[in-house]
């Protein structure tokens, strides 16, 4: 176990480093994770033997839950609403068209059996949210005509439909399917997935809005449980767990809940780790020697998908919306295949015995070709089609985006000889960007204006823009504990000797703005302005 943990830690660190390298040279980061897995695999340098498809299926399906949940949670609905109809059409009917056309190509052109052709079409029918998000974010690639939101919502929401088609194809191959069972499968997948996802979202939103967690960070732990429940509960009754997880993510990500921005960053990190895990594991599971055997049919399917199927689906479904040709061309080119397709291929390998074709390695090869060619050239194609919007920020489409600097609220208690005591707000000499937000006077709350008189005992809440620190400045806290040599000394002594500036003192519930003669007491928490060591 110790060796496994050691290898795992090393792999994660290498993946994080690989992320920075691939972004700089313009290659999608997921290629780096796959390559790393292949290097560690049985045909690679480290020769780790791993052929357990069932274990890989369990891990990858679990990781895909968080990718789907974050696909919804990180999407800003106000930006996505104008293109919601187009995105839903692409993520449902577009997926079906893709599966049918690829299936027909495999059946007629490549000579595969009808059932396996349909299975391949179903497995490869969805685009990859992780790849699209990664490219748009890393390149800060905002696109005209709300195209970034369209791609993000389509790729984030089309996996559930591909999952449903894959289940239908598997039931056809194993002989358990009938017309009635297929119809019920489609009904159950959508009806139970949407209904249960909606109920879980409403319940979770109520808890997050009204319940105060006793420990900081427990809200994120609660959200993890919600994401897992959103998948598992519909799956137990035949619903679409991925659809449910995505819907719950959309609802919660666009609700007024506490610490939402922090949770967006938390799930961004979790999702990044899940992507590393999936693609490393898939690289580990693959055999480069097996990829060579399926390369030609995989290349044929890839090119047919890129240059025939995707354009037909996009132009056929987007033209009625009067979308520009250049937008349709870019959306067509941006239909990257990724993690979900390989996970669904693993499902097929586990569920179906005696497949005629090595579907896992075939789909794996198609995904590699798609990410390497399409993913790498998205910025180039966007520029050639004049679709780059230099006047906007692609991060606006995500829930962690803010238009202005963040604001911070400060609570001050006015007592005794406080300089604000018995003065009107307009009489105070304060910075222009300091705003008086609220005055709490006993049991009353007062919305202040310039003529509001501040009295002794008032609790004043003010706001100001948050300081955006550069890399050379840090803020630290130091608590003055029992027996500290600084108890009773002046702030001027502390700052002079330590070459650190004390900018704030937290003294119980009171906030003290320090001056040189201010004394330091036991249990004071000093907030320090510190320059890094390399600064002179």
Q: What is the 3-state secondary structure (H, E, C) of 481-496?
A: CCCCCCCCCEHHHHHH
Lowest mean pLDDT among 402-406, 420-424, 466-470: 402-406
Residue (of 30, 129, 139) closest to 80 by Cα position: 129
In this structure, the answer to whether residues 226 and 206 fall within a common structural domain is yes
Work out the mean pLDDT of the chain and round it to a whole number.
84
The segment with the largest mean pLDDT, out of 21-35, 190-204, 274-288, 400-414, is 190-204
Is 0.85 topped by the overall pTM? no
Whether residues 426 and 392 share a domain: the answer is no
Boundary-marking domain end, from 447, 468, 489? 468
Same structural domain, 81 and 15:
yes
Examine the pLDDT at 20 and tell me if it is beyond 70: no
Q: What is the pLDDT of residue 479?
A: 83
User: Are 218 and 229 part of one and the same domain?
Assistant: yes
Residue 417 lies inside a defined structural domain of this protein: yes
What number is the average pLDDT over the span 139-166? 88
Cα separation, 348 vs 345, whole angstroms: 5
Contact 486, 523 (CB under 8 A): no
Answer yes or no: do 372 and 460 share one domain.
no
Distance CA 275, CA 283 (A): 12
Confirm whether 514 is domain-assigned: yes
| Domain-embedded: residue 54 | no
Instruction: Say whether both 412 and 373 belong to one domain.
Output: no
Check residue 535 and give its pLDDT: 41
- Is residue 513 in a domain? yes
Same domain, 410 and 382: no
Determine the pLDDT at residue 123: 96
Residues 375 and 29: their CA atoms lie apart, in Å, by 10
- Inside any domain, residue 52: no
Helix runs in 74-158, H state only: 77-80, 84-108, 114-123, 129-138, 147-157
Domain CATH for 324: 1.20.1530.20
**Is 202 found in the same domain as 217?**
yes
Query: What's the pLDDT score for residue 399?
Result: 57
Cβ partners under 8 Å of residue 516, min gap 6: 490, 491, 492
Lowest mean pLDDT among 129-133, 255-259, 436-440, 514-518: 129-133
Same domain, 327 and 249: yes
Given a cut of 90, is residue 75 above it in pLDDT? no
Domain boundary among 338, 363, 397: 397
pLDDT at residue 21, as a whole number: 63
Q: Within a domain: residue 185?
A: yes
Contacts of 189 (CB under 8 A, 6+ apart): 160, 163, 164, 167, 238, 239, 240, 243
- Range scoring the smallest mean pLDDT among 6-15, 68-77, 210-219, 411-420: 6-15
**Do 365 and 507 reside in the same domain of the chain?**
no
* Tens-digit pLDDT profile for residues 482-509: 888 888 888 887 765 555 778 888 887 6
Domains in the chain, number: 3
Answer whether residue 50 is part of any domain: no
User: Can you list the alpha helix ranges (DSSP code H) found in 176-259?
Assistant: 179-210, 218-236, 241-253
Q: Residue 513 sits in a domain of what CATH number?
A: 3.30.70.1450
Residues 268, 129 share a domain: yes
| Residue-wise burial string across 278-296, b where 16 or more C-beta atoms lie within 10 A, e elsewhere | bbbbbbbbbbeebbeebbe
- Predicted confidence band at 79 (pLDDT cuts at 50, 70, 90)? confident
Tell me if 286 sits within 8 A of 365, measured CB to CB.
Answer: no
Q: Domain boundary residue among 397, 419, 449?
A: 397
Q: How many residues does the chain have?
A: 536
CB neighbours of residue 263 within 10 Å: 24
d(CA 88, CA 233): 23
For residue 288, give its domain range.
2-45+60-397
- Are both 333 and 458 inside the same structural domain? no
Please compute the mean of the pLDDT values over residues 30-56 and round it to a whole number.
77
Residue 121 lies in a domain: yes
């Amino acid at each position: 176990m110790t060796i496994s943990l050691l290898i795992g830690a090393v792999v994660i660190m290498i993946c994080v480093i690989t992320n920075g390298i691939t972004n700089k040279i313009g290659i999608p980061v997921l290629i780096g994770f796959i390559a790393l897995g292949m290097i560690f695999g049985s045909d690679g340098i480290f020769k780790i033997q791993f052929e357990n498809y069932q274990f890989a299926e369990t891990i990858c399906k679990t990781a895909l839950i968080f990718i789907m949940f974050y696909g919804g949670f990180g999407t800003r609905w106000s930006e996505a609403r104008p293109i919601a109809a187009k995105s839903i059409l692409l993520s449902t009917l577009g997926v079906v068209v893709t599966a049918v056309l690829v299936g027909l190509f495999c059946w007629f052109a490549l000579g595969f059996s009808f059932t396996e052709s349909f299975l391949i079409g179903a497995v490869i029918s969805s685009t990859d949210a992780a790849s699209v998000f990664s490219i748009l974010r890393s390149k800060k690639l905002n696109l005209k005509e709300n195209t970034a939101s369209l791609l993000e919502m389509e790729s984030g929401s089309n996996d559930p439909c591909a999952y449903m088609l894959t289940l239908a194809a598997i039931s056809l191959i194993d002989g358990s399917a009938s017309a009635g069972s297929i119809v019920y499968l489609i009904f159950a997948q959508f009806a139970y997935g949407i209904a249960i996802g909606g109920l879980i979202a409403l319940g979770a939103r109520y808890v997050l809005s009204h319940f105060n967690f006793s420990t900081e960070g427990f809200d994120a732990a609660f959200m993890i449980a919600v994401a897992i429940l959103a998948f598992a509960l519909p799956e137990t009754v035949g619903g679409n767990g991925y659809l449910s997880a995505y819907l719950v993510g959309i609802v919660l990500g666009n609700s007024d809940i506490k610490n939402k921005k922090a949770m967006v960053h938390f799930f961004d990190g979790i999702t990044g780790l899940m992507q590393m895990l999936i693609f490393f594991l898939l690289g580990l599971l693959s055999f480069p020697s097996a990829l060579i055997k399926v390369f030609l049919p995989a290349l044929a399917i890839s090119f047919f998908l890129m240059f025939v199927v995707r354009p037909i689906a996009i132009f056929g479904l987007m033209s009625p919306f009067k979308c520009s040709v250049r937008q349709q061309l870019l959306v067509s080119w941006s239909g990257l295949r990724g993690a979900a397709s390989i996970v669904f291929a693993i499902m097929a390998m586990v569920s179906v015995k005696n497949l005629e074709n090595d579907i896992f390695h075939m789909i794996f090869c198609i995904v590699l070709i798609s990410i390497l060619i399409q993913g790498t050239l998205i910025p180039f194609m966007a520029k050639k089609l004049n679709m780059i919007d230099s006047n906007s920020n692609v991060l606006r489409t995500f829930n962690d985006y803010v238009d202005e600097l963040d604001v911070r609220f400060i609570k001050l208690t006015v007592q005794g000889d406080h300089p604000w005591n018995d003065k009107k707000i307009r009489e105070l000499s304060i910075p222009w960007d300091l705003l008086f937000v609220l005055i709490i006077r006993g049991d009353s709350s007062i919305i202040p204006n310039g003529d509001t008189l501040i009295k002794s005992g008032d609790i004043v809440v003010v706001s100001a823009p948050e300081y955006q620190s550069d890399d050379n400045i840090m803020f630290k806290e130091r608590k003055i504990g029992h027996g500290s040599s600084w108890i009773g000394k002046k702030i001027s002594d502390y700052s002079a000797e330590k070459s650190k500036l004390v900018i704030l003192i937290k003294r119980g519930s009171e906030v003290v703005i320090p001056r040189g003669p201010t004394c330091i007491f036991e249990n004071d928490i000093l907030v320090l302005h510190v320059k890094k060591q390399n600064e002179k």
